[in-house]
Chains A and B, each alone.
Chain A
């Protein structure tokens, strides 16, 4: 069974600060995805990283896939209250089948105004 560990589990910081959350595994994934879930809603896909070492930017969010395709990080610059939410990473397995996604338990992020 492939497992994804996310850290920290909870993070509360002031508006304007920078932060990084991590997603780690001992398994190799063909790609890795980050989702954000706001209260009362389902998770929404933010980004997919596919190549080892790949870096993708989405405004103030920077996503990186580890060289060995076992881990990923999400860095937020100058955090805003609108960034508050649950951030989930999901690994896409190299095998086929509909069940090829493994989710981490998530990082609860709160940005205080």
Chain B
């Protein structure tokens, strides 16, 4: 089974701090994603990466950056955290079992910015 591991389940940070969210997958997938999930808004794509050192903006990249130095690890960075970035953050990697795309998600990091 694919395993996507997010480093923290819960995180509390202060406004203005630089915050790092880490995600590791063990299936050698090329494509990895960061989403945030908010009530009434669903899953919104922040950034994705299709290869090491490659990144693409998603729908809501403002205030975030990412890093993909190794294939298995995709990091989300909040450059200067703000209260409106309080959310559930989900990392996913994309596999193609049987030729059909399927995203494998981590358990999420619930981030609170005070």
User: Which residues of chain A have a CB within 8 Å of any CB of chain B?
Assistant: 31, 33, 40-45, 48, 50, 88, 90, 92, 97-101, 103-106
Distance in angstroms from B103 CB to nearest chain A CB is: 6
A45 B102 Cβ-Cβ under 8 A: yes
B105 A43 Cβ-Cβ under 8 A: yes
Our count of residue pairs bridging A and B at CB distance below 8 angstroms stands at 55
Task: For B105, give its contact among A31, A44, A99 (CB under 8 Å).
Answer: A44
Task: For B106, give its contact among A42, A50, A99, A104 (CB under 8 Å).
Answer: A42
Residues of A within 8 A of B30 (CB): 98
| Contact A99 B90, CB 8 Å, known A42-B106, A45-B102 | no
> Can you list the 8 inter-chain pairs with the closest CB atoms, starting with the nearest?
A42-B105, A105-B42, A98-B31, A98-B50, A103-B43, A48-B100, A45-B102, A43-B105
A41 B50 Cβ-Cβ under 8 A: no
Interface of A is mostly: loop
Beta-carbon contacts of B75-114 to A below 8 Å, as 1s and 0s? Answer: 0000000000000001010100000111111111000000
User: Which residues of chain B have a CB within 8 Å of any CB of chain A?
Assistant: 4, 9, 30-31, 33, 40-43, 45, 48-50, 56, 58, 90, 92, 94, 100-108
Task: For B42, give its contact among A97, A99, A104 (CB under 8 Å).
Answer: A104
Residues of B within 8 A of A31 (CB): 100-101
Complex CA gap A50/B102 in Å reads: 13
Residues of B within 8 A of A101 (CB): 94, 101, 103
Residues of B within 8 A of A48 (CB): 100, 102
A99 B101 Cβ-Cβ under 8 A: no
In the complex, residue of chain A having the shortest beta-carbon distance to the beta carbon of B94:
A98
A88 B43 Cβ-Cβ under 8 A: yes
Residues of B within 8 A of A42 (CB): 4, 90, 92, 105-108
B103 A41 Cβ-Cβ under 8 A: no
